[in-house]
Structure 1
Amino acid sequence: MTGFFLTGAQKASSRHGLPKALSTVIGYICLQISPVQAELITEQEAIKQALSRPMIAIAEKSDIEAAQQTVNEVSLWPNPMVSIERTQVSGDEGRNTELTYQIEQTFDISGHRRLEKKAAQQHLMSVKALQQDQRQAIILEVRQVFLELLYQQQLQEIYQKWQIRLNQAQQTIQKLVKAGEVSGYDSRRLQQELLTASTQSAQIQAEIVLLQHRLAGLTFAQTANELTVTGHLLPLSLPDLKELQQKLNNRSDLAAMDAQINALSHQAEAAGLNKIPDISLGIGQKRISTPTGSSDGISLSLAMPLPVFNQAKTRQLKFLSEADSLRAKRDLRYQQANSVLIGQWQQLEHLAKAAIALRENAMGNAERLSTIAQAAYQAGEVGVLELLDAYRGELSTVQSIITLEYQASLARVTLDSLVGVTL
């Protein structure tokens, strides 16, 4: 008897020796498992399509433009001030009128504006890093849904072949029943097993439909029910732990926090420079008119605020406190991520080794037991329960293998997400 994973087993027919209703159920499930025009998609294609959705590009562009406009705004000089002053004084000799036209410009002599610009540039870097973090979250979701769909597809394939195996056994049993070598109990017991397998297959198909629609929503696929993923569950290689830890510091959310800390530091430094106030210089023309005549001259002015009541000390302390708080949160997030990274790496190592060992050592033995059990049943040496037990052992082994491979793949995806791998 061939094993579950030999393609020749798929050629076995499931229409002989089964009740009509049961054949209809199995036929429907097989039709759902193998769509005629399946839309195959790889993990890389799914990620590319998810990231290329137009709404993401629009949102990212708008955020970048808003942050860039802040940089442009603080880079501009203050607007000049134009003033007109008219003064009239009455005396014994008549009315004297003074008319002054002046333009004033404020100058930053402390470097305050330069630091504000640096803070705005750091904020822009933070926005870009946060966008990368959002992209990483999308990639993580796509990969998780993709892997779960791939896992469910492989489970469905296993149960499809399991039904074919049971159908083949049913044909053998019916021949033995007609020959009077076994009782009708064996046939009815196998039919019950087929109904159970059909129910389990239907449950898996329900999960597949849901996952297809979730993936279609992420990738903008037009036909969710025809969406089929392709790839391997088990990770091809185990990444180096030290290399992963080196990448951890460059993770996008940590980079965003670093940029925000730098921005707050620049703002605190700029607030401290308010002790050196900006000066305003003005130049213009002044005309003095008297009853006996008028005269013109140049008007010059110099003005600056006196830092008596507001020395910006509270503003500076506010920025420094926010920077310290954010720095502590950043260090805490790094420590937590590093601990999870080590644990996730060790989990991946154990799961991958277990999956490989089970496939190499247990798979062949389970298939041989099924072959031996079928031959023994045909020879009348064992009953139908022993035959089903051998079949279930093979099914359980295969299911355990792909479950371990799926769990190892999820661990690898989490590792990549922890260090900010975007693929």
Structure 2
Amino acid sequence: MPTAALLAAVVCDDCSHTIPPDQHPAVVDGDRLCADCAADAVYCDGCSERTREPHLTVLDTHLCTECVRAWSECDDCHRYSRYITAVVDGPDVCADCLDTYPVCDDCGHRCRGRYDVEGGNEVCDTCRFDDYHECNDCCTLIRWDEGYCADCAPDHPHHHAINGYDYKPDPVFHGTGPLFLGLELELKTPSYQLEDSVEAALAELGDLGYLKEDSSIGSSGFELVTHPMDYAYARTQFPWSLLARLRLLGAYTDDAVGIHVHLSRAGFDSPAHIYRWMKFVYRNQEPVTALARRNSSQWAEFDPFTRGRIAGYAKGDRRGLRYEAINVQPEHTFELRIFASSLHRGQVLAALAFADASVEYTRGLSAAQIARRRGWDWAAFTAWLAPRPQYAALTAELEDLACAS
């Protein structure tokens, strides 16, 4: 039989006072408590057990640590709720706190803060980044496919033949493929020469291309866009004399504009071929950007994150970022965005030649060539180019830029 002395040795786990032998300790949260300490505990509204660590819910009830596991804490009021909503660019909150946040006029979601955009609406941070930019003249936020706000637009010339940013006619293919290239050449003009430049471009392009607006061009200019061409057709049939004529009319390029080349996905043999091509471009960032006459920029980044996802992109994943060296978002093409714009035949033709040559080089690149002959290396690519006269413009440009090996 236990002695009275042993019974008297039981102490409270909270206050450390001895629990009289004629009192049974209360077990709360696994601890043995005296009557006074146990009186401070509350009953859990979930399991009806007492707890010293109650969690207040949005229903003004209390839950113990075990029962509250199925609930989430509101970042604002710190009460617990079964339903928590994420605020755009903000905290995760309960329904009561959610009502204190404004609603984005575009996406309809609650958000931390809003931006005023043209037309009087207020939008969240995500919609502002995805869908708006500042007017080319002032700070008014306008849609990405617009160049100027309504107040500034009258000060800038426009030509009816320059289509909107989102204009996308059915493609007309020129040549036999299998790889087709689409050229997008951004250029600027003096405002007083815009009409003559547009008329000259349309006259020489004929049915090979069309003109579009682009927010990066600024106050006066256009983006010259061709229908899909294979490289042989582009080299021999594109109206190259147009570039010199546009220069004579005062057209020019600067750091804000570029050349984008779309490459048809159907022109690749397989996902493995796509992987080899993208890997080759990203592995050779330094000579590629030298050829492009444009370092990695906010419009065409060589992002390590993107490089690490090449295998997924090769298999059809299109969830990449638009402003990467290779934009994988288009459904039927890859967009090579790296080149600075130009109105010189050799530089524009070199951009098209690199797009075509890099695909053809990686089309036949074997695992043995990669492993034993350093097939990924830029020197191996330029050696492959040398005996192929169709790429003479590219070879000449590489030599001029001192990146031929």
TM-score of the two chains, using structure 1 as the length reference: 0.21
The structure with the largest alpha-carbon Rg is 1
> Which of structures 1 and 2 has the larger relative contact order (alpha carbons within 8 angstroms, sep 6+)?
1
Could you tell me the TM-score, scaled by structure 2's length? 0.22
Larger % of strand: which?
A: 2
